[in-house]
Each structure stands twice: as structure tokens, then as C-alpha cells.
Amino acid sequence: MRTRILFLLWAFVAGQVSAQSSVADVPDSTKTHWRPRYVTFLSADKVDSVWTYARTDLVPVIYKVNKYVLYPNAQTDSILTTIRWAQQAPRVRLAYVWIGGSASPEGPVRWNKQLGHYRSRALADYVLAHTDLPDTLLRVENLAEDWESTRWALQRMDFPHRNRILQIIDTEPDWIRRKAQIRALDEGRTWTRLVHEVFPSFRNSRLVIVCYEQPELPEFVAYDAPPVTDLTQEAYEHLVPIPFTPEEPTHRRVVLLKSNLLAVAAALVANLGFEVELAQHWSLDVPVYYSPYDLFKETRKVRLLATQPEVRYWFSEVSKCHFIGLHTHVAGFNVALNDHGRYQDPNHALWGMGLSYGYALPFGKDKRWGAEFTLGFGFADYKYDMYENIGIRPGQLVHSSDSKCYWGVTRASVTLSYKWFVGKKRRVKP
């Protein structure tokens, strides 16, 4: 299905689909009326026929490099007018509006996948904000890196090492290795020409309006809309942008309630914490440890009150897969693990910092439960008074206010978590 949808993109690259071919399947009563080529008419029982899009010109909205801000222009005005026409014309029924967003293949793959999502949502949110089209009639597709259009364009032009580039595209499925092989051609000169001569038109979002006709209704009125114009890249700098932010598609943040099972199993230290998503890929984890009781008898205890906040960067998404973190810790303690002595902070809490690495694995039917494994290294500065360990009696002071600086493992956890989301989806109002 995705291959078929990507086939849609070929039309706008060529720019050679005639008005006659774009109306090939329209009933005779509609062929006399002019309309933009990005409107396609299908039979009512074949509105999901993706192959028909191959005979339709898709209207592209071009963006600057690494940008996803949509600028209103004659093209977007025509899109809005055409959608309103399709909703209001007596014999026309609007099936849905298909929107795709893509990035040109230069740049990191991970960012290009996000860029395709942002650009598709920019056009989708623009349409929703300036028409009364319900979002149920939108089909939004993230096309990521537009290699299909790159292949199609190269097949129709004279370009250095064209056959070798096409062979790499066809035989190397991994996008990162594919780009590395193309960059290696001609010491990078061929890749530079691709970036400047072929890729710019693929930094876009594009649209098709899918309709079908009601032949039993009266003849519908002719459509009169401003023509679609192709704006140069420089012209966009003088247009007024429509605000769009990466968080706009969902606006739901991840929140997790957590407990370190390793601390409970190793030292019977009760703990509870939370983690909240700060921004895309970033989160704040705050565990709190509290142990006010003896372990097995009066001379064995790990009494403490501690917290260890950590700022994390997630390589995938918050609460999934790998992350690195920067943590700090502060703790008050009263510890006795053997008969040698009891160690207590003299109103001077332990503190320190460290770096950690971890991995989170969601599980369960809806992936709300999760297991997290973390190991961190750093330092801890602390002072302590040492007392004789003689049970419930205070014991004699042995050492007073010794100061230590520890370097080593500062964070170790096997954590069980439960995830939910806060916030609501929002739409930009016109």
C-alpha cells in the first residue's frame, strides 16, 4: 500500500500530466467544467483506488531546507477554495482529502522522518483551520525521505552517474548506507548536484482531493477558483507564515509512575517516583527513597531519606528504548549493616552527581507497563559520625564528622513503571 501511495508523487515531479488525463474518468457532464488538476473523480465504489492518483497532478507546497512552516499563497488559496467547492457543489461528493509530507534525502534519516510528519501535519492543520472540513475526511501520510520521486526524476534526465545511483537506490534498502554509497561517487560532487538540482522540489507537502459524482442530481455550477501558481523558493521569504509547532499533532505528554524493585529487593528500601516528558526526546525522572525502619533487628538498619532527580535524553521516544541521563543525588542516612559500627550523617546530607545509561522496554496489551534498566557512575560527597552499634541504645561516638568522596556506581535500578498521557489534542483555530 505504501508503494502505491508513493507512486502518487511521480505526477508532480514530471509536471506533464495533461488536463485531459486528469479528467479521464469523469462523467461527460463534468468534463466541460474547468477545475484544478489535483481534484480527481472516481466512481463511488472505487474511491480507494490509489492507482487513479497516478493520473492526477498532486499540488506540492514547497518548504525551505529543514523547515516546516507553511506560507499562505495563491496555491494554498486555491486549495481552500477547491475544498469548499467540493463540499458545496450539488452533484459533487467529497470522499476525502489525501495529504502527504516528505523531506529531501539529504540530512539525518531520523530527522527526515520527523520532518515528513511535521510537513504533512502543517498542511493538514492549515486545511482544518481554514475550512469546515471534518478531520475524518483527511488521510495524512508521512512519506519521510522521497526516494521514489528521486528515482522517477533521475530516469527522465541526463545526470552524472545516473545508472549507478539508480542501481544503489534499487539494491540498498538501508537509507543511511544508501546515502553513504551515493556520496562516495565522484568524491561527493555528484551528491552535491543532487542536493542543489534534484532534491529541492521534494521538500514539500502535497494534496489530492478525491471526489465522486451524484448523476441523479441537477447539473452543478461551474467552478471558478484562482489558478494554481508555482512560487519560487525566494518568494516564500516575503510571505506571512502560519504558525506550526512540532507538538501540534498530539499535545499529549507522557507521565510515568515508577518503583525501583532492585532497591526493595537488595535493602528493603521503599521508593516511589515519577517521570514526566519535558519535550520531544527529553524527560525528568524523580525517584524518592524512604526507609524509617530497622531491617531484621535493632543493629541492622538502612534508614534514609533520599532523592535522585535525573534529566534524560531518549534516542527514540520517552519511555522507549535507549536513553542517557545526568543525575544528582541528596540523602540523609543512618546505616548499620554489621557489628562494627553505625554511620549517621551529622546534619550534613550526602550529595553528588553522575551520568547514567538505561533501556526501557514497554510491555502489556497497550504498552502502558514498562521495565527499565539503569546503571550510572559518578561521585558522592558525604560526612558521617560513627557510633558503636549496640542496638536500641545510642552507642558511644567513635569518629566524628569524617568526610569522604566516593567515585563509582551512583545509580542502579531495575524499575517497574506504569504510563499514561496528559493533555488533549488541539487544533489551530482560524
- The structure's pTM equals 0.45
Residue 274 grid cell: 515519577
Determine the Cα–Cα distance for residues 316 and 23; give it in Å rounded to an integer. 44
Query: Residue 414 burial (CB < 10 Å; 0-12/13-18/19+)?
Result: middle
Burial 3-15 (b: 16+ CB within 10 A, else e): eebbbbbbbbbee
pLDDT of residue 287: 94
Residue 224 grid cell: 471558478
Determine the Cα–Cα distance for residues 46 and 240; give it in Å rounded to an integer. 39
Burial 67-99 (b: 16+ CB within 10 A, else e): bbbbbebebbebbbbbbbbbeebebbbbbbbbb
Q: What is the DSSP letter of 424?
A: -
Determine the Cα–Cα distance for residues 101 and 401; give it in Å rounded to an integer. 64
Write out pLDDT tens, residues 89-144.
Answer: 777 788 888 888 888 888 888 888 888 899 889 889 988 988 888 888 888 888 88
Q: Report, at the CATH architecture level, how domain 2-238 is classified.
A: 2-Layer Sandwich (3.30)
Q: Is 234 left (phi over 0), alpha (psi -120 to 50) or beta?
A: alpha
Partners of residue 428 on adjacent β-strands: none
Determine the Cα–Cα distance for residues 169 and 116; give it in Å rounded to an integer. 19
Fold of the CATH domain 253-422: Porin (2.40.160)
Write out pLDDT tens, residues 238-265.
Answer: 545 555 444 444 457 889 999 999 888 8
For the chain, which residues make up each domain, given as ranges? 2-238, 253-422
The torsion of the CA quartet 212, 148, 71, 248, rounded to 10 degrees, works out to 80
Residue 118 grid cell: 511535521
Cα 166 to chain centroid, rounded? 30
Residue with grid cell 534525502, as numbered in its chain: 105
Determine the Cα–Cα distance for residues 183 and 180; give it in Å rounded to an integer. 5
Determine the Cα–Cα distance for residues 62 and 203; give it in Å rounded to an integer. 6
pLDDT in tens, the chain (430 residues): 343 333 333 333 333 333 333 333 333 334 434 455 566 666 555 545 444 444 444 566 778 788 888 888 777 888 888 888 888 877 778 888 888 888 888 888 888 888 889 988 988 998 898 888 888 888 888 888 888 878 888 888 888 888 999 999 899 888 888 989 988 888 888 888 888 888 887 788 888 888 877 665 445 455 555 554 444 444 444 545 555 444 444 457 889 999 999 888 877 888 999 999 998 889 999 999 988 877 666 667 788 888 999 999 999 888 889 999 999 999 888 887 777 778 888 877 888 999 999 999 999 877 889 999 999 999 998 888 878 776 655 666 777 777 788 899 999 999 999 998 886 544 433 3
